[in-house]
């Protein structure tokens, strides 16, 4: 393959602590040199002056593998949730899912924790790991039985697999479409208390602590749950967690006017919870920011709020909205860590770093470029988002996968 020479970029690599102006040389699909380097005269040169070069992003918890949207968002690897049709509860289905986005987007499927995601009978975790599963997930719903969850964590620890859980107590959450509070009361929406999340988080952390298993809570969004995670980490529990840009930027008032595009899972929370979530990303309690990409059709979203399907498109806006939520003062290294290095570390994935010998997966972005989110212009049919027409700053300019330029912004 042609040697690629990325020239004059601001290199941000939290895995190595690198934050400097320099060059990157890519050869044979791997990083060959980083920093003050000499490239062969025959190398293809890419002038990256004024751009940031970071490890390409890894989206930890995607419900649909939209390759074009991934690349436009600087994402070259995704963790695919098991909530597919059929559910990813069989080794053959894991193998098939891994082929969806190749060669440009690598899909790392999460094995369904239970057969059919029904929450009762454990799946063939070892066989699915052998087939390529990167972890285990309970899917969109909590496993209601503590006994089943305990067995899942024990088995997963034996195979060295991280369990990704959904943090909403089924009995408390029920069929609620909103969080208890002024907005839900005023609009007459079926709602559930915010402690539905902290109750689920507390139970799963206690079970993980007892079994010694690695637990990742896909989305935390309340101050109570965050406090439980923070205290568990302080006593050495193997727990990590994530959140989404929507839960960092929006509160439950967004549903005013029955805006069904703002119906998400977990539902949007109070302003106090939103601020606690932002603070938890900034202090490192929340390890990962993921898109929660779960696009729905117009028919699924344009319904009365309580009947609309929860979910939104999020791949292309992951970086820009995350940057908006945290602000430049938080530091680009901290942001890239949560979008790339942390998910790679938690799930043992290649990538997430720009060291010599690492996969040549690179995102080049301009943190100051202004643009407007336009749902109709996003790279997939079901482009519903509560951020439609929002002015943002920061955009991915070029995405490189395995040394090949696979996306260039127009």
Sorted by where each begins, the domain ranges of the chain are: 56-347
- Picking from 220, 219, 141, 206, the residue whose alpha carbon sits closest to that of residue 173 is 141
Count other Cβ atoms within 10 Å, centred on residue 86: 11
Q: pLDDT per residue over 342-385, tens digit each?
A: 999 999 999 999 999 999 999 999 999 999 999 888 876 667 89
Alpha-carbon distance of 238 to 227, in angstroms, equals 15
Residue with tokens 């094995």: 111
User: How much is the pLDDT for 279?
Assistant: 97
What is the rounded radius of gyration, in angstroms, for the C-alpha atoms of the chain? 21
Does domain 56-347 fall under CATH 3.20.20.140? My reply is yes
Alpha-carbon distance of 205 to 65, in angstroms, equals 29
pTM: 0.96
CA 225 to chain centre: 18
Q: pLDDT per residue over 88-122, tens digit each?
A: 999 999 999 999 988 999 999 999 999 999 999 99
Mean pLDDT, the chain cut into blocks of 10 residues (410 residues total): 92 96 96 91 93 98 94 98 97 97 94 98 97 98 98 98 97 96 97 98 98 98 98 98 98 96 97 98 97 92 95 96 90 96 97 95 97 87 87 97 93
């Amino acid at each position: 393959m042609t040697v690629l020479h990325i020239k004059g970029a601001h290199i941000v690599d939290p895995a190595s602590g690198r934050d400097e102006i320099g060059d990157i040389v890519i050869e044979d699909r791997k990083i060959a040199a980083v920093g003050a380097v000499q490239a062969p005269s025959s190398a293809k040169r890419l002038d990256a002056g004024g751009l940031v070069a970071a490890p390409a992003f890894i989206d930890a918890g995607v419900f649909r593998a939209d390759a074009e949207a991934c690349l436009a968002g600087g994402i070259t690897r995704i963790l695919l949730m098991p909530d597919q049709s059929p559910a990813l509860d069989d080794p053959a289905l894991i193998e098939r899912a891994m082929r969806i986005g190749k060669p440009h987007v690598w899909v790392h499927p999460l094995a369904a924790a239970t057969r059919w995601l029904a929450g009762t009978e454990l799946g063939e975790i070892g066989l699915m790991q052998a087939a390529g599963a990167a972890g285990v997930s309970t899917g969109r719903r909590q496993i209601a039985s503590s006994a089943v969850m305990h067995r899942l964590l024990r088995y997963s620890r034996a195979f060295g697999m991280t369990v990704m859980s959904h943090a909403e107590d089924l009995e408390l959450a029920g069929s609620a479409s909103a969080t208890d509070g002024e907005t839900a009361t005023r609009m007459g929406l079926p709602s559930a208390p915010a402690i539905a999340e902290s109750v689920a988080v507390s139970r799963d952390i206690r079970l993980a602590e007892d079994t010694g298993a690695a637990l990742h809570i896909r989305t935390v969004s309340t101050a109570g749950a965050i406090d439980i995670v923070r205290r568990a980490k302080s006593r050495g529990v193997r727990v990590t967690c994530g959140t989404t840009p929507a839960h960092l930027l929006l509160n439950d008032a967004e549903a005013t006017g029955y805006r069904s595009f703002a119906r998400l899972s977990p539902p949007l929370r109070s302003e106090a919870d939103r601020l606690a979530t932002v603070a938890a990303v900034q202090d490192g309690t929340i390890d990962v920011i993921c898109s929660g990409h779960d696009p729905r059709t117009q028919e699924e979203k344009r319904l009365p709020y309580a009947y609309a399907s929860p979910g939104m498109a999020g791949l292309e806006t992951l970086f820009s909205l995350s940057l908006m939520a945290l602000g430049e003062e938080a530091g680009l290294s901290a942001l890239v860590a949560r979008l790339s290095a942390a998910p790679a570390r938690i799930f043992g994935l290649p990538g997430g770093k720009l060291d010599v010998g690492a996969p040549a997966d690179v995102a080049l972005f301009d943190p100051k470029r202004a643009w407007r989110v336009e749902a109709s212009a996003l790279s997939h049919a079901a482009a519903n988002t509560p951020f439609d027409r929002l002015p943002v700053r920061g955009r991915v300019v070029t995405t490189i996968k395995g040394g090949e330029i696979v996306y260039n912004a127009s």
